[in-house]
Homo-oligomer: A and B are copies of this chain.
Amino acid sequence: MTTTETRSKGAGARIEPRSFRGVLVPALTPFTADGSPDRATFVSFCAWLLDQGANGLAVFGTTSEANSLSLTERMSLLEHLVDNGIPAGTLMPGTGACSVPEAVQLTKGALAAGAGGVLVLPPFYYKNVSEDGVFAYYAEVIERVGESALRLYLYHIPQMSGVAITPPIISRLVSAYGPVIAGLKDSSGGWENTERLLREFPDLAIFPASERFLLAGLENGAAGCISATANFQVQRIRQLIETPDGDGRARLNEEAGRVRAIFEKYPLIPALKAVAAHRFGRDSWRIVRPPLRELTDAQRRELIDALGAESRAG
């Protein structure tokens, strides 16, 4: 992954529409017992994910409970990561918000921190909005940010946001803003949409949101994946990307799929946090903000047992 290009500014900036590649982790956000973000643990977790092989960190995504954080918390945590040694170029923070002024403020903050790109949700309060309205939101954010160095990744997750980022919207944005529209994370959950986007937008860096579609994605030109369960198995996913076709690769792919299937039996974010608490020996890792709730003790034991059995089998 190279991100230096995206930070150079002005007309002479070299265009590198695929600066992010590989496995990006939508890093979990740890909280302390009083409910505030646990800044120190967040830094060490991000450093650990990079050590384990993460190509980038899509901090402040859905899995990060970004929308359960205040704007101030998001901006301050991002600065804290960079100030404490997390390379800014590896970061693709979520900077979407329902309001244009807040999306602009978050995006400017990410650029100022040196982030390699930003992952931007559509405004997600109003439903049944027009494609023209979604285009207008992104257009206004991009123009108010006013930086040709901006590399914006569209965040398509209609089952959560209620607002789809359709091919006509993407086409119109690419026509209007060229390399500023760098890519898209497809969390729609099906291969069909990803496959269509890869075919229609070969110049965008398309990231399916699950390692389940990683191999098919890579074969069809995907840039990698941005997967919630990479919080648990980033090393395996990175290995999978780097292993040439053959027996070892198929085995890794099956293992990754089995692990994902285990997590998918539970509410995903509380499950990932429960496992992080177990792995790092820190109970506060389990804390989620409302409306999410922690796993029950029984769920937690069952999940950890299932992952242990899988690991012994693997």
Contact = CB atoms under 8 A, between A and B. Distances in A.
Interface of A: 35, 62, 67-73, 98-102, 105, 122-127, 129-130, 132-134, 136-137, 139-140, 159-163, 289-293
A102 B71 contact: yes
Contacts of A98: 67-68
Contacts of A162: 162
A139 B68 CA distance: 15
Given A71-B71, A123-B68, A163 B291 contact: yes
Given A70-B71, A73-B99, A125-B160, 9 more contacts: A67-B126, A68-B98, A71-B102, A100-B289, A123-B290, A133-B293, A136-B290, A137-B290, A140-B290
A71 B289 CA distance: 20
26 contacts: A35-B100, A67-B123, A67-B125, A68-B123, A70-B99, A71-B71, A73-B101, A100-B290, A122-B291, A123-B290, A123-B291, A125-B160, A125-B161, A126-B160, A126-B291, A127-B160, A130-B291, A133-B290, A133-B293, A134-B291, A136-B290, A136-B291, A136-B293, A137-B290, A139-B290, A140-B290
Given A125-B160, A160-B125, A133 B292 contact: yes
A98 B123 CA distance: 12
A132 B70 contact: no
A172 to B, nearest CB: 13
A293 B67 contact: no
A247 B99 CA distance: 46
A126 B292 contact: yes
Nearest to A269: B126
Contacts of A68: 98-100, 123, 125
Nearest to A160: B127
Contacts of A291: 122-123, 126, 129-130, 133-134, 136-137, 163
Contacts of A72: 101
B102 A70 contact: yes
Identify the 6 closest CB pairs spanning chains A and B, nearest first. Answer: A133-B291, A137-B290, A136-B290, A67-B125, A129-B291, A67-B98
Contacts of A35: 100, 140
A296 to B, nearest CB: 11
A105 B73 CA distance: 13
A126 B161 CA distance: 8
A99 B292 contact: no
A292 B126 CA distance: 8
A68 B68 CA distance: 17
A71 B69 CA distance: 13
B71 A293 contact: no
Contacts of A161: 125
A136 B291 CA distance: 7
A130 B299 CA distance: 16
Contact of A70 (B67, B105, B290): B105
A164 to B, nearest CB: 12
